[in-house]
Amino acid sequence: MLTILYDGAPKMWPAYQPALTTALADAGIAAHLVLPDEVAPEAVDYIVYAPTGPVQDFTPFTRARAVLSLWAGVERVVGNPTLTQPLCRMVDDGLERGMIEWVTGHVLRAHLGMDRHIINPDRIWDQTAPPLARERGVTVLGLGALGAACASTLASLGFPVTGWSRTPKSLPGILCESGPEGLHRALSRAEILVTILPNTPETTNLLNADTLALLPRGATILNPGRGTLIDDVALLATLDSGQVGQATLDVFRVEPLPADHPYWAHPKVTVTPHIAAETRPSSAARVIVENIRRDQAGEPLLHLVDRSRGY
């Protein structure tokens, strides 16, 4: 009988308890699901983890075979010196579908100019039609599982999509760029720019005054990746100058976004409350349990974090 510790947000326990129970039963795994105050750390076999849970020191969990994250991003735990167990990040179809739907919806909103019809207090009858998708360049920064899925979906709608990653990638139907020079080329094509990169030292403030200046004038920025990717001061300046025409932001350096932050009041900024790729308990539970099954069967863990790269 395995002992599995739930160390996610306490408010989500009523949703995760039945989801994990069902997934374990379906996989034929006998296990106790427990909360941190219900078990001695040395009795825990696996930790289902989120940064919003109470466990910060992993040292007492001497028997734990893996820490299985409910979040795709692991920057808040990967540098924890007490974490010596294998760490797996969350990659699941529910999270991926949520990101695809958020990105596609907001790309189409920008492409079709929906805001001028939705918010039209002067009742202006403007029949100016947008270009076709094939005439609007979209760039996706980050070609991991989520970025690649979004890039492929946008390409299927007819957009010419450029993808950029720090290391070379190859995706059908996507013009893939990499490295510093590739970033410049990718940004120069980005009438709509989507950022889905992890938070690492190399990506912090990747979009700054210099790189934002490379965008076509009036470009739209969508950031469902990480708040640290964008220099906020530089973005606000380029919005004011017209170099960037609109920004829809789902992630921020401080969350919830403070009520006095300039983004809330800026007429060219849309704030969404970190909902682009929310983990769904039913699908996330299946991913967690599959990794437990694999580990018990002596198979390699899925989505194992490379700590030297930070993801």
Whole-angstrom CA distances from 36 to 2, 3, 10, 47, 212 are: 15, 11, 10, 10, 45
Q: How far apart are CA 177 and CA 164, in angstroms?
A: 5
Residues labelled as active-site residues: 226, 274
Tokens standing for 66?
């893996």
Quote the Cα angle for 245-271-110, to 5°. 40
> What tens digit of pLDDT does each residue of 46-93 get?
999 999 999 999 999 999 999 999 998 898 999 999 999 999 999 988
Q: What class is the 93-271 domain?
A: alpha beta
Q: Is domain 2-92+279-296 given the CATH code 1.10.1740.10 in the classification?
A: no
Closest C-alpha among 76, 148, 147 to residue 310: 76
User: Across all residues in the chain, what is the average pLDDT?
Assistant: 96
Which residues face 223 on adjacent strands? 249
* Position 1 pLDDT exceeds 90: yes
> What tens digit of pLDDT does each residue of 104-119 get?
999 999 999 999 999 9
Long-range contacts formed by 261-267: CB under 8 A, 24+ apart: 262/232, 262/236, 263/232, 263/236, 266/236, 266/239
> What tens digit of pLDDT does each residue of 2-36 get?
999 999 999 999 999 999 999 999 999 999 999 99
β-bridge pairing 192-195 and 31-34: unpaired
Give this prediction's pTM. 0.83
Mean pLDDT over 214-219 rounds to: 98
Tokens standing for 42?
């040395």
Domain ranges in the chain with CATH number 3.40.50.720: 2-92+279-296, 93-271
